[in-house]
Chain A
Amino acid sequence: MNFHYSAAHLIGALVLLLGFQLLYQRRIAAVIRSFAVQAAALALAAAWQAYIQDSPHLYITAAIALVFKAMIVPFALNWLVVRLGIHKTVETALGIGPTMMIGVALVALSIVLVLPVTQNASALTRENLALAMSVVLLGLLMMITRRNAVSQVVGFMALENGLILAAVGVKGMPLVVEMSIAFSVLVAMILFGIFFYRIRERFDSLDLHYLESFRGER
């Protein structure tokens, strides 16, 4: 096994581990911080892929990930959290232990799914896809298990991190696509910000639990 391959594998696994770190954290500030670290690891993965695939436009992807997702988004989320006065413990719908267990099961599931489908792809692409899909599923899991709107948004962003990770591993992904993903996430971020204010105004809380009674489910 050569060094290029091992290092790509290592960085991909780091992104995955930080996905677990997101699931493990309970406090909002720690969740946002873990997300920033995950985005930075993603930038590293993109830069490494740019280096080994010799495709300079991936450096731009890395820079976008670093500036937008590792700096601007966490900063904006932190600002929102402080403005809305919700820097308290995160309520989880499920306990941390069961969530982590489901997380590991999801990783196993994505490996079982990806490996047979990509028999003909190169080893690097295959593993990258398996890891990226796990990150996507972990993001989804986070959106399901958290009640607080801010952590659900972080789950969404983490899911998007997984998409980028999958994108940079595939050769020949055009820059336009990645740019548009990055900007749509930024737009989504702004929309979420507005929604936070609306939800907060209406229910005096960001716990989405209250929305259920509003919909008439309880």
Chain B
Amino acid sequence: MSAVWQILQALLCVALAPLLTGIVRWVKARLVGRRGASPIQPYRDLIRLLRKELVLAQDASWLFRAAPYLVFSLTWLAAAMVPAFTTNLLLIPAADLITLVALLGAARFFLALAGLDVGTSFGGIGTSREMMIASLAEPAMLMIVFTLSLLAGTTAPARIVDHVLAGGIGLEVSMGMALIALILVAIAENGRIPIDNPATHLELTMVHEAMVLEYSGRHLALIEAASMVRLLLYVSLLACIFAPWGISQSGKGEIGILIGLASYGAKIALGAVALGVFETAIAKMRVFRYADFLGGALLLAVLATIVLYVSEAV
């Protein structure tokens, strides 16, 4: 059965990701008093991009053409590994938080190369900023993984889900700190406000948009889809580690799967609304303050580990 659920999960990731982005945009529009596009608008955008003619820069190499496919497939693979509605998946033995970080890091690497490939100045600016954010976010992410592995004794998300559902952690301070740190990292990695504004094309502030400025047609569709899938991945990751209630474990049968799917839908919707409200309430940050923001995430994760040692010494 695990293969069936794995395929279902992989399809679900791609099918739900544009909806998640659409809901976030819709919530943000409503909160600032606009009517907002329908939540299914991102699907229409992707289909439109897929139909459009591909325009390639003269200096574009094979790397530029290959990058969208690599980025999308790496992100998709990572998203398929996070247990969303069941832990009974085919890829679970390979799924590991460190693997996830590595897959996303590889995707970012190719995107950065593609940003530099054409040789425009915007691509270069975007790439250098993206790499700066990545180099700050990754230590924080690994520190969070470290804290979780000390708490649950494993770095596999599925085993962490089992551990939390069995009540092995309880009310733990370190878990709360790790949650805040992971939210900060997720905001930075997905280029949301206050790090990067996904809706802007202002040359002074854009990060992700600057990197993919030269893409068009189906390449752009793939890259947009990849960033949507990455947002879904982080929401699923937060949901599965910190709120695993409802996730079906192996041996629970079809009813368990249905409960898992329903709770997953509810968590995603909640995450989308929360993100929309958060982004409306906060202003974008100056580039030079990124280090403070992500340094805060790193320090929270370090603090979580330190506090853990206090309570384990008891």
Contacts and interface: CB of A to CB of B under 8 A. Distances in A.
Contact of B311 (A16, A24, A97, A127): A127
Nearest to B309: A111
A16 B176 CA distance: 13
B311 A9 contact: yes
Given A6-B171, A97-B295, A115 B310 contact: yes
Interface stretch (A67-75, A101-109, A186-194, A206-214): A101-109
Interface in B168-191: 170-173, 176-177
- Report the interface size class on chain A: 20 to 34
B193 interface: no
Contact of A20 (B173, B299, B307, B313): B299
Contact of B176 (A10, A96, A115, A127): A10
Nearest to B313: A115
Interface string A1-21: 101001101100100110010
B287 to A, nearest CB: 15
A24 B299 CA distance: 11
Given A127-B310, A130-B310, A97 B291 contact: yes
- Report the interface size class on chain B: 20 to 34
Contact of A13 (B177, B295, B302): B177
A100 interface: yes
Contacts of A9: 173, 311
Contact of B307 (A1, A13, A96): A13
A103 B310 CA distance: 17
A146 interface: no
A147 interface: no
Contacts of A111: 306, 309-310
B271 to A, nearest CB: 23
Contacts of B302: 104
Contact of A107 (B170, B303, B311): B303
A97 B294 CA distance: 10
A72 B28 CA distance: 36
A30 to B, nearest CB: 13
A126 B314 contact: yes
Contacts of B292: 24, 96-97, 100
B296 interface: yes
Give me the 3 closest cross-chain CB pairs, A-B, nearest first.
A6-B171, A13-B173, A123-B314
Interface of B: 170-173, 176-177, 291-292, 295-296, 299-300, 302-303, 306-307, 309-311, 313-314
Given A6-B171, A10-B176, 11 more contacts: A6-B170, A7-B171, A13-B307, A17-B177, A17-B303, A96-B292, A96-B295, A104-B303, A107-B306, A111-B310, A127-B314
